[in-house]
Amino acid sequence: MTRPLKITKDVHFRSMKRGRKVIQEGVEAGRPTLGRVPRVSRVMALAIHMADLRHQGEVADYAELARLAAVTRARMTQIMSLVLLAPDIQEEILYLPRVEGNRTSIAEKMVRPIAAIPDWRKQRVMWRELKAEHMKKRS
């Protein structure tokens, strides 16, 4: 009497073009997660772009920008206040590390009080304190 032969192999299905599925040997390799760009970085980039549009004369004023962006004038003011930050702070905000999972980055709401201060030296002190506080919370 012969014993049944059992062969075990890891396989996974891979989606191809037009919904076609292909079976492949081995365990599926996990895709590297790059994370997402923090919202405050995207809003900072938007503010810089919108200020540039205004300076080039592409739009008449921030009210027109608000209409084009479908936001209120108050929200446009909040966004555009970010261009009042010291250039080095703007750069740091643009290059904040990507956020993975549910971890949060520095929020725009936290940065607005810094932008309200006209003295760049005071802004830099407040920015360092905000970053230190944020790093303490993440630890």
* Domain regions of the chain by residue span: 39-96+106-138
Residue among 99, 100, 121, 108 nearest 81 (CA): 108
For residue 46, give the amino acid letter: L
List, in order, residues 6 or more apart from 16 with CB less than 8 Å away.
22
Mean pLDDT of 14-40: 80
Average pLDDT of the residues of the chain: 89
Amino acid 32: pLDDT: 66
Cα angle 32, 42, 76; round to 5: 160
Q: What is the pTM of this model?
A: 0.74
Amino acid 131: pLDDT: 93
| pLDDT tens digit sequence for 100-135 | 877 778 999 999 999 999 999 999 999 999 999 988
